[in-house]
Amino acid sequence: MDLQISGHKALVLGGSQGLGFSCAEALAEAGVEVVVNGRDQARAKEAADSLGKGAWAVAGDVSDPGERKRIFAQARGEQPISILVTNAGGPPPGPVAGHDHETWQKAVEMNMLAALDFAVMTLPDMKQAGFGRIVNITSFTVREPYPNMGLATGVRAGLTGAMSSLSQEVADQGITVNNLLPGLMDTGALHRVYAAQARNQGITEDEAKAHMAESVPMKRLGRGEDFGRVCAFLCSAHAGYMTGQNITVDGGLVRSLL
> What is the band of 38 on the pLDDT scale with cuts at 50, 70, 90?
very high
Domain boundaries of the chain, sorted by first residue: 9-184+223-249
Model confidence, pTM: 0.94
Q: What angle do CA 253, 257, 258 make, to 5 degrees?
A: 100
Residue 44 is predicted with a pLDDT of: 97
Average pLDDT, rounded, for the chain: 95
Using CA atoms, how far residue 49 sits from 20, 35, 61, 145, 214, in Å, is: 15, 11, 20, 37, 36
Stronger pLDDT, 148 or 198, i.e. the higher one = 198
| CATH class of the domain comprising 9-184+223-249 | alpha beta
Residue 188 is predicted with a pLDDT of: 81
Closest to 9 measured CA to CA, from 177, 169, 155, 132: 132
Rounded mean pLDDT, 112-127: 98
The length of the chain in residues reads 258
Residues facing 19 on adjacent strands: none
Residue 178 is predicted with a pLDDT of: 98
Residue 26 is predicted with a pLDDT of: 98
Count of C-beta atoms within a 10 Å radius of residue 110: 20
Asked whether 235 and 27 are in contact (CB, 8 A), the reply is yes
Asked whether 217 and 255 are in contact (CB, 8 A), the reply is no
Closest to 250 measured CA to CA, from 152, 156, 180: 180
Residues facing 248 on adjacent strands: 181
> What is the band of 218 on the pLDDT scale with cuts at 50, 70, 90?
very high
Asked whether 94 and 107 are in contact (CB, 8 A), the reply is no
Distance, CA of 220 to CA of 233 (rounded, Å): 23
pLDDT digits (tens, 9 = 90+) for 40-76: 999 999 999 999 878 999 999 999 999 999 999 999 9
